[in-house]
Amino acid sequence: MTTDYGDTLIKVQDLHKVFGELKALNGISEEIRKGEVVVIVGPSGSGKSTFLRSLNLLEEPSGGQIFFEGEDITDKKVDINKHRQKMGMVFQHFNLFPHKTILQNITLAPVKLLKKSREEAEKRAMELLALVGLEEKADAYPAQLSGGQKQRIAIVRSLAMDPEVMLFDEPTSALDPEMVGEVLELMKKLARDGMTMVVVTHEMGFAKEVATRVIFVDEGQIKEQAGPEEFFGNPKDERLKEFLSKIL
Protein backbone atom coordinates (compact mmCIF):
# COMPACT_ATOMS: atom_id res chain seq x y z
CA MET A 1 0.00 0.00 0.00
CA THR A 2 1.42 3.32 -0.98
CA THR A 3 -1.61 5.50 -0.56
CA ASP A 4 -0.77 8.94 0.67
CA TYR A 5 -2.66 10.07 3.70
CA GLY A 6 -3.38 13.58 4.82
CA ASP A 7 -1.93 15.55 7.67
CA THR A 8 -1.21 14.09 11.05
CA LEU A 9 -4.39 14.16 13.11
CA ILE A 10 -3.18 12.59 16.33
CA LYS A 11 0.42 12.46 17.46
CA VAL A 12 1.35 10.50 20.56
CA GLN A 13 4.75 10.98 22.21
CA ASP A 14 6.20 8.61 24.77
CA LEU A 15 2.85 7.86 26.41
CA HIS A 16 2.88 6.23 29.86
CA LYS A 17 0.02 5.10 32.03
CA VAL A 18 0.37 3.56 35.46
CA PHE A 19 -2.44 2.01 37.48
CA GLY A 20 -0.99 1.66 40.98
CA GLU A 21 1.74 -0.94 40.49
CA LEU A 22 0.70 -1.89 36.98
CA LYS A 23 2.39 -0.25 34.02
CA ALA A 24 -0.41 -0.32 31.46
CA LEU A 25 1.36 1.84 28.88
CA ASN A 26 5.11 1.83 28.69
CA GLY A 27 6.23 4.51 26.28
CA ILE A 28 4.09 4.56 23.14
CA SER A 29 4.81 6.97 20.32
CA GLU A 30 2.57 6.93 17.28
CA GLU A 31 0.94 9.07 14.63
CA ILE A 32 -2.51 8.78 13.15
CA ARG A 33 -3.05 10.54 9.83
CA LYS A 34 -6.29 11.73 8.29
CA GLY A 35 -8.13 9.01 6.43
CA GLU A 36 -6.26 6.12 8.04
CA VAL A 37 -7.98 3.07 9.45
CA VAL A 38 -5.67 1.85 12.18
CA VAL A 39 -6.53 -1.45 13.82
CA ILE A 40 -4.93 -2.23 17.17
CA VAL A 41 -4.65 -5.85 18.26
CA GLY A 42 -3.02 -7.57 21.15
CA PRO A 43 -3.62 -10.02 24.00
CA SER A 44 -5.94 -9.01 26.81
CA GLY A 45 -4.23 -6.83 29.36
CA SER A 46 -1.73 -5.64 26.77
CA GLY A 47 -2.78 -2.02 27.15
CA LYS A 48 -4.47 -1.64 23.78
CA SER A 49 -7.76 -0.37 25.24
CA THR A 50 -5.91 1.92 27.63
CA PHE A 51 -4.02 3.35 24.69
CA LEU A 52 -7.24 4.00 22.77
CA ARG A 53 -8.97 5.52 25.80
CA SER A 54 -5.98 7.78 26.35
CA LEU A 55 -6.40 9.36 22.94
CA ASN A 56 -9.44 11.35 24.14
CA LEU A 57 -8.16 11.44 27.71
CA LEU A 58 -10.83 9.14 29.17
CA GLU A 59 -7.72 7.70 30.74
CA GLU A 60 -5.45 10.45 31.93
CA PRO A 61 -1.88 9.67 30.90
CA SER A 62 0.74 9.39 33.63
CA GLY A 63 3.36 10.71 31.27
CA GLY A 64 3.92 11.74 27.67
CA GLN A 65 2.00 13.98 25.32
CA ILE A 66 -0.90 13.68 22.91
CA PHE A 67 -1.34 16.20 20.13
CA PHE A 68 -4.72 16.46 18.43
CA GLU A 69 -4.78 18.69 15.35
CA GLY A 70 -1.45 20.07 16.51
CA GLU A 71 -2.55 21.01 19.99
CA ASP A 72 -1.19 19.31 23.10
CA ILE A 73 -4.38 18.05 24.77
CA THR A 74 -2.50 16.74 27.81
CA ASP A 75 -1.83 20.39 28.68
CA LYS A 76 -4.03 21.21 31.68
CA LYS A 77 -4.97 24.57 30.18
CA VAL A 78 -6.59 22.97 27.14
CA ASP A 79 -10.38 22.60 27.14
CA ILE A 80 -10.51 18.85 26.54
CA ASN A 81 -14.29 18.94 26.09
CA LYS A 82 -13.92 20.96 22.87
CA HIS A 83 -11.53 18.37 21.48
CA ARG A 84 -13.62 15.42 22.56
CA GLN A 85 -16.47 16.79 20.46
CA LYS A 86 -14.33 16.00 17.41
CA MET A 87 -13.30 12.54 18.60
CA GLY A 88 -16.21 10.13 18.46
CA MET A 89 -15.98 7.11 20.69
CA VAL A 90 -17.79 3.78 20.48
CA PHE A 91 -17.74 1.48 23.49
CA GLN A 92 -17.92 -2.27 23.93
CA HIS A 93 -21.13 -1.93 25.96
CA PHE A 94 -22.73 0.72 23.70
CA ASN A 95 -23.55 3.04 26.63
CA LEU A 96 -26.68 4.45 25.06
CA PHE A 97 -28.65 6.67 27.41
CA PRO A 98 -31.51 4.40 28.59
CA HIS A 99 -33.76 7.26 29.73
CA LYS A 100 -33.79 8.86 26.29
CA THR A 101 -35.29 7.78 22.97
CA ILE A 102 -33.00 6.90 20.09
CA LEU A 103 -33.61 10.29 18.50
CA GLN A 104 -32.86 12.06 21.79
CA ASN A 105 -29.72 9.97 22.23
CA ILE A 106 -28.48 11.20 18.86
CA THR A 107 -29.54 14.85 19.13
CA LEU A 108 -28.57 15.56 22.76
CA ALA A 109 -24.94 16.49 22.14
CA PRO A 110 -25.45 18.38 18.85
CA VAL A 111 -28.20 20.50 20.43
CA LYS A 112 -26.47 21.18 23.76
CA LEU A 113 -22.86 21.40 22.60
CA LEU A 114 -22.93 22.45 18.95
CA LYS A 115 -25.94 24.70 19.62
CA LYS A 116 -27.79 23.26 16.66
CA SER A 117 -31.53 23.90 16.51
CA ARG A 118 -33.69 20.92 17.42
CA GLU A 119 -35.08 20.71 13.86
CA GLU A 120 -31.62 20.80 12.33
CA ALA A 121 -30.29 18.16 14.73
CA GLU A 122 -33.28 15.89 14.18
CA LYS A 123 -33.03 16.24 10.43
CA ARG A 124 -29.38 15.19 10.55
CA ALA A 125 -30.22 12.38 12.99
CA MET A 126 -32.86 11.01 10.64
CA GLU A 127 -30.38 11.10 7.73
CA LEU A 128 -27.90 9.13 9.80
CA LEU A 129 -30.59 6.69 10.94
CA ALA A 130 -31.50 6.17 7.29
CA LEU A 131 -27.83 5.44 6.59
CA VAL A 132 -27.93 2.55 9.07
CA GLY A 133 -31.50 1.52 8.20
CA LEU A 134 -32.98 2.22 11.63
CA GLU A 135 -35.28 5.19 10.91
CA GLU A 136 -38.26 3.34 12.34
CA LYS A 137 -36.52 3.11 15.71
CA ALA A 138 -36.29 6.89 16.19
CA ASP A 139 -38.88 6.96 18.95
CA ALA A 140 -37.94 3.65 20.57
CA TYR A 141 -35.91 3.37 23.77
CA PRO A 142 -32.53 1.59 23.85
CA ALA A 143 -33.99 -1.29 25.89
CA GLN A 144 -36.20 -2.16 22.90
CA LEU A 145 -33.24 -2.68 20.57
CA SER A 146 -31.01 -5.68 19.87
CA GLY A 147 -27.29 -5.45 20.67
CA GLY A 148 -26.33 -4.93 17.04
CA GLN A 149 -28.93 -2.19 16.66
CA LYS A 150 -27.72 -0.51 19.86
CA GLN A 151 -24.15 -0.44 18.62
CA ARG A 152 -25.17 0.99 15.27
CA ILE A 153 -27.10 3.71 17.10
CA ALA A 154 -24.06 4.37 19.31
CA ILE A 155 -21.99 4.87 16.15
CA VAL A 156 -24.65 7.19 14.75
CA ARG A 157 -24.68 9.15 18.00
CA SER A 158 -20.96 9.81 17.61
CA LEU A 159 -21.29 10.61 13.91
CA ALA A 160 -23.92 13.24 14.68
CA MET A 161 -21.13 15.38 16.14
CA ASP A 162 -19.30 15.28 12.77
CA PRO A 163 -16.08 14.01 14.37
CA GLU A 164 -12.64 14.17 12.78
CA VAL A 165 -11.82 10.70 14.03
CA MET A 166 -13.75 7.73 15.41
CA LEU A 167 -12.32 5.60 18.22
CA PHE A 168 -13.74 2.09 18.57
CA ASP A 169 -13.10 0.16 21.78
CA GLU A 170 -13.87 -3.50 21.00
CA PRO A 171 -17.17 -2.54 19.35
CA THR A 172 -18.27 -6.10 18.60
CA SER A 173 -17.00 -7.96 21.68
CA ALA A 174 -20.29 -7.77 23.60
CA LEU A 175 -22.43 -8.81 20.65
CA ASP A 176 -24.04 -12.11 19.84
CA PRO A 177 -22.19 -13.65 16.87
CA GLU A 178 -25.07 -13.13 14.45
CA MET A 179 -25.02 -9.40 15.14
CA VAL A 180 -21.32 -8.79 14.63
CA GLY A 181 -21.73 -8.59 10.86
CA GLU A 182 -24.13 -5.67 10.80
CA VAL A 183 -21.82 -3.54 12.96
CA LEU A 184 -18.73 -4.43 10.97
CA GLU A 185 -20.58 -3.62 7.73
CA LEU A 186 -21.34 -0.14 9.04
CA MET A 187 -17.74 0.35 10.12
CA LYS A 188 -16.53 -0.73 6.68
CA LYS A 189 -18.90 1.76 5.11
CA LEU A 190 -17.44 4.52 7.29
CA ALA A 191 -13.92 3.49 6.35
CA ARG A 192 -14.76 3.56 2.64
CA ASP A 193 -16.24 7.04 3.07
CA GLY A 194 -12.86 8.24 4.32
CA MET A 195 -13.48 8.44 8.06
CA THR A 196 -10.31 8.34 10.13
CA MET A 197 -10.68 5.38 12.47
CA VAL A 198 -8.75 3.81 15.31
CA VAL A 199 -10.16 0.41 16.16
CA VAL A 200 -9.33 -1.97 18.98
CA THR A 201 -10.79 -5.30 17.99
CA HIS A 202 -10.41 -9.06 17.85
CA GLU A 203 -12.03 -9.18 14.40
CA MET A 204 -9.04 -10.10 12.26
CA GLY A 205 -11.23 -10.33 9.16
CA PHE A 206 -12.06 -6.67 9.57
CA ALA A 207 -8.42 -5.82 10.04
CA LYS A 208 -7.41 -7.69 6.89
CA GLU A 209 -10.15 -6.18 4.81
CA VAL A 210 -10.21 -2.51 5.76
CA ALA A 211 -7.22 -1.63 7.91
CA THR A 212 -4.60 0.60 6.34
CA ARG A 213 -2.28 -0.29 9.18
CA VAL A 214 -2.33 -2.90 11.92
CA ILE A 215 -0.58 -2.33 15.24
CA PHE A 216 0.38 -5.06 17.68
CA VAL A 217 0.45 -3.90 21.29
CA ASP A 218 1.92 -6.03 24.05
CA GLU A 219 3.12 -5.17 27.55
CA GLY A 220 2.15 -1.54 27.05
CA GLN A 221 4.32 -1.10 23.98
CA ILE A 222 3.95 -1.22 20.22
CA LYS A 223 5.82 -4.37 19.27
CA GLU A 224 5.10 -4.39 15.56
CA GLN A 225 3.12 -2.58 12.93
CA ALA A 226 2.60 -3.00 9.21
CA GLY A 227 0.02 -2.98 6.44
CA PRO A 228 -2.42 -5.88 6.90
CA GLU A 229 -0.88 -8.15 4.23
CA GLU A 230 2.59 -7.83 5.70
CA PHE A 231 1.26 -7.95 9.27
CA PHE A 232 -0.65 -11.20 8.88
CA GLY A 233 1.46 -12.74 6.11
CA ASN A 234 4.89 -12.10 7.46
CA PRO A 235 4.93 -11.29 11.17
CA LYS A 236 8.38 -10.80 12.73
CA ASP A 237 7.90 -10.31 16.45
CA GLU A 238 7.89 -13.63 18.32
CA ARG A 239 4.99 -12.60 20.58
CA LEU A 240 2.98 -11.54 17.55
CA LYS A 241 3.59 -14.88 15.83
CA GLU A 242 2.41 -16.65 18.95
CA PHE A 243 -0.61 -14.34 19.24
CA LEU A 244 -1.61 -14.84 15.61
CA SER A 245 -1.21 -18.60 15.81
CA LYS A 246 -3.70 -18.65 18.67
CA ILE A 247 -6.41 -16.53 17.10
CA LEU A 248 -6.22 -17.30 13.39
Which residues of the chain form contacts with another protein (CB under 8 A)? 56, 58, 81-85, 87-89, 91, 93, 95-99, 108-109, 112-113, 141, 143-144, 154, 157-158, 161
Beta carbon of residue 68, minimum distance to another protein (angstroms, whole number): 13
With 0-12 / 13-18 / 19 or more C-beta atoms within 10 angstroms meaning exposed / middle / buried, residue 151 is: buried
Minimum CB distance to another protein, residue 109 (Å): 4
Rounded to a whole number of angstroms, the minimum distance from the CB of residue 179 to another protein is: 19
Rounded to a whole number of angstroms, the minimum distance from the CB of residue 217 to another protein is: 21
Q: Which is nearer to another protein, 157 or 223 (CB)?
A: 157
CB of 237 to another protein, least distance (A): 31
Nearer to another protein, 143 or 247 (CB): 143
